[in-house]
Amino acid sequence: MRGLEKIAAWLAPNLAAAVLTVPPERWPLVEEIRLRAGRPLQLRLGDEEMWPRLEGEPVLVTAEDIARTLNIMTAASIYAYEAELSKGYLTLPGGHRVGIAGKVLRDGNKIRGFQHFGSLNIRLARQYPGVGEKLLPQLLDKVTGRLHSTLIISPPRCGKTTLLRDLVRLASSGWPAAGLAPLTVGLVDERSEIAGCYQGIPQLEVGPRTDVLDGCPKAEGLSMLIRTMGPELVVCDEIGTAADQQALLEAANSGAILLASIHGAGINDLARRPFGRELLALRLFQRIVVLSRREGPGTVEKVYLR
Amino acid sequence: MWLKLAGMLLVVGSSSAAGLTIAGQLRKRPQLLAALQNGLQVLETQIVFGAVPLADAFLHCGAVNQGAVGELFLLAAAKMQGNKGKTGGEVWQEAVEGWWRNQPLTPVDREVLASLGGSLGNSDRLDQAKHLALIRQQLAQQEEVARAAARRYCRPVSYLGLLGGLALTILLL
């Protein structure tokens, strides 16, 4: 089995058949598989939508199909994935992320899980080893070769996580060509997107010196790593709360290099938000990288030196 | 004459053996129903406190529980292996189906046990605990009924076997 066949094996059989109607030469383009109860199956290949057909008919997804699919994904044990489900996602072996929507089950103000599953969005994890190589020299100190603390600003689906992952891999392995010595990396992977851990083991390439706190809230995770794992570089994705900011500040003060990402269209866009303004004012990051999708995902728009 | 005597003995022997077997089943049923409740309690612990995936939880229960109950869990564990797409509940129902006929259980007992299949594995731990507790409660009721039946019918049935055999031989004489 390869590529899309492996993913299709997680789906209810009729949906798997529909997904595999994509011609094999286009398999590498598939980014998302979307299941919505009562509506047709949708795929996303790059910027293009696709509604697969079986025998000329669009494939209608039923609630039963979604239940079957989740049953396969959880090895018939929904209860064993409670923590992930209450956050609205699952991670499959291979690091693929399954986002979930539906009728939410609440416990007071907290989300306990789902009463009914309405939608699944399977986002295929793709590794592009090497995407960070072009950028990396700009993030290094010209004299010492030390990595600068870096913030990646990017709108969704511009390859922010992919870039972050490759930078982690490079930092963890070291990159002698650019004069970067290997670093011990502490990675807080709150949504299991960077390392794609399955049962605690990274499924994606994050380098030999990387310790991953999987599914851990960023603020707690950062201070936990600093206290226990002695990281030289700490990494987290999609920062956005005052607690995250505080934890980053503490990490920076303890001497660790920071690597983080944040949602945003650019540095001005970030500066307009109170959180972003404060973050920039702290001057925690010496390099700020802005991504876009102008020339495909992962286009580096600009690198700011600070 | 000897042939007749041998025939009589055979009739009396087999009918009283039948009586004893039925009496034995009556006695064993409440024991098995109690053991099933214990088994489900172990399963509940695995699910609620361990969040252990169903396949492993079945295996554990199979190892921990002795006798027929252990067999049921091991059968379910075997059916989970290489299972593609069946729900935990469906696997459980299949296992119960393949197991109960050789056990001293009634169709109602089987019904209660199989009804766990409606929910097993398909919700969060709190919900699983509720369903498992409900099934255990129903099994406890069945056990009560079974105990009453055993008290009432055990002796009469074994006598009936013997006496029925004797009556039959008298008729045949």
Asked if B88 has any chain A CB less than 8 Å from its own CB, the reply is yes
Tokens 């503490």, residue located: A250
pLDDT tens digits for range B46-57: 999 988 999 999
Structure confidence at residue A2 (pLDDT): 63
Structure confidence at residue A110 (pLDDT): 85
Contact A162, A204 (CB under 8 A): no
How many A/B residue pairs have CB atoms within 8 Å?
63
Structure confidence at residue A106 (pLDDT): 86
* Spatial separation of the C-alpha atoms in residues A107 and B12, rounded to whole Å: 67
* Spatial separation of the C-alpha atoms in residues A94 and A4, rounded to whole Å: 12
Interface of A with B (CB under 8 A): 12-13, 67-68, 71-72, 74-80, 82, 85, 105, 112-113
Contact A239, A247 (CB under 8 A): no
| Alpha carbon of residue B32 to chain centroid | 6
**Dihedrals phi, psi of A166, to nearest 5 degrees:** -70, -35
Q: Is the pLDDT of residue B83 over 80?
A: no
> Which residues of B are less than 8 Å from A76 in CB distance?
53-55, 80, 83, 86-88, 91, 121-122
pLDDT tens digits for range A224-258: 999 999 999 999 999 988 899 999 999 999 999 99
Structure confidence at residue A177 (pLDDT): 83
| A71: nearest CA partner in chain B | B87
> Looking at the whole model, is its pTM more than 0.80?
no
Residue contact B124–A82, C-beta within 8 A? yes
DSSP A58: E
Contact B89, B119 (CB under 8 A): yes
Q: From the candidates A65, A77, A111, A112, which should be mutated to test the interface with B, based on the most B CB atoms within 10 A?
A: A77
Task: Given the cut 0.90, state whether the ipTM is greater than it.
Answer: no
What is the number of other CB atoms lying within 10 angstroms of the CB of residue A215?
18
| Tens digit of pLDDT at every position of chain A (306 positions) | 467 888 999 999 999 999 999 999 888 889 899 999 999 999 999 889 999 999 889 999 999 999 999 999 998 899 999 888 888 888 888 888 899 999 988 888 888 888 889 999 999 887 777 888 889 999 998 888 899 999 999 998 888 888 999 999 999 999 888 888 999 999 999 888 899 888 788 989 999 999 999 988 999 999 999 999 999 999 999 998 889 999 999 999 999 999 999 999 999 999 999 998 999 999 999 999 999 988 878 889 999 988
Alpha carbons within 13 A on the beta-carbon side of B68: 18
> Which residues of A are less than 8 Å from B119 in CB distance?
none
> A247-283: b or e for each residue (b if 16 or more CB lie within 10 Å)?
bbeebbeeebbbbbbbbbbbbeebeeeeebeebbeee
* Spatial separation of the C-alpha atoms in residues A49 and A46, rounded to whole Å: 8
Supply A265's token pair: 């269209």
Supply A108's token pair: 């007071």
Nearest neighbour of A77 by CB, restricted to B86, B121, B126? B121
Contact A182, A145 (CB under 8 A): no
* Spatial separation of the C-alpha atoms in residues B117 and B57, rounded to whole Å: 15
